[in-house]
Amino acid sequence: MAWYDVFSRIYDASLEALYREARTRAVEALRAEPGSFVLDLPCGTGQSFDLLCAAVGERGRVVGVDLSPGMLREAERRIARSGFDRVSVLARDAAELTVSDLGAAPDRVHVFLGMTVFPDPDAVFDRVWSLLAPGGRCVLVDVHAASPGLQGKLVEWLARADLTRRFWEPLERRGVAFERHDLPFDRRHGGQIMMAAADKANEPA
């Protein structure tokens, strides 16, 4: 992830405001409860940490996972700066994450701008789905462009992303009560920003 180590130096300055509204909507859709355990994957510089911490309350926990040491360094700075006491970060490849890495199965999974970036999104999704506790909930937010224009291509280059991915499809196949919504359009996203959400079925008694 050498590119994201470089990008981490300007990531917050260039992108923090642009996705703020979508982050708020994603955390609302997660329907975290007081005491929830949220996996934030990839956490990047931790731009969703404040919203996730507020959603899980004092008894809850958030673990942010990312592969880039540079992005995680920024995330740790954010934690120190903001005094968050219920977030920790972990350096892992999303495709290899285990429950023992996390200490427990999360009951919420938040994947914001990850599915178009992971080299093998299907493998990551399968992994994440296997980690999610039965009865838990998963929210994916990403940008989609069936045929990226100039701005889309710029975003693809900058984020090392593939905006043509129908990123919601693995969740649609596996989840219960699947829903997908467009979020407010901004041409700077390079395509249509969308949110997909679904629950994981409870195990039969």
Please give the Cα distance from 65 to 42 (Å, whole number): 5
148, two tokens: 């990226």
Query: Which one of the spans 28-36, 111-119, 130-138, 167-175 is the region binding ligand SAM (CB under 6 A)?
Result: 111-119
Residue number, nearest CB to ligand SAM: 44
Query: Of the candidates 117, 132, 155, 195, which one interacts with ligand SAM according to CB under 6 A?
Result: 117
Rg of the Cα atoms in the chain: 16
Q: How far is the CB of 203 from ligand SAM (least distance, A)?
A: 28
Pairing outcome for strands 176-182 and 192-199: antiparallel
Under the binding rule (CB under 6 A), the answer on residue 162 touching ligand SAM is: no
Under the binding rule (CB under 6 A), the answer on residue 114 touching ligand SAM is: yes
Under the binding rule (CB under 6 A), the answer on residue 32 touching ligand SAM is: no
Residue closer to ligand SAM by CB (options 113, 198) is 113
Query: Of the candidates 1, 30, 138, 183, which one interacts with ligand SAM according to CB under 6 A?
Result: 1
Under the binding rule (CB under 6 A), the answer on residue 126 touching ligand SAM is: no
Under the binding rule (CB under 6 A), the answer on residue 87 touching ligand SAM is: no
Footprint of ligand SAM on 65-84 (CB under 6 A): 66-68, 71
Residue closer to ligand SAM by CB (options 96, 182) is 96
Under the binding rule (CB under 6 A), the answer on residue 42 touching ligand SAM is: yes
Residue closer to ligand SAM by CB (options 93, 179) is 93
Contact residues for ligand SAM (CB under 6 A)? 1, 4, 42-44, 47, 66-68, 71, 93-95, 112-114, 117-118, 159
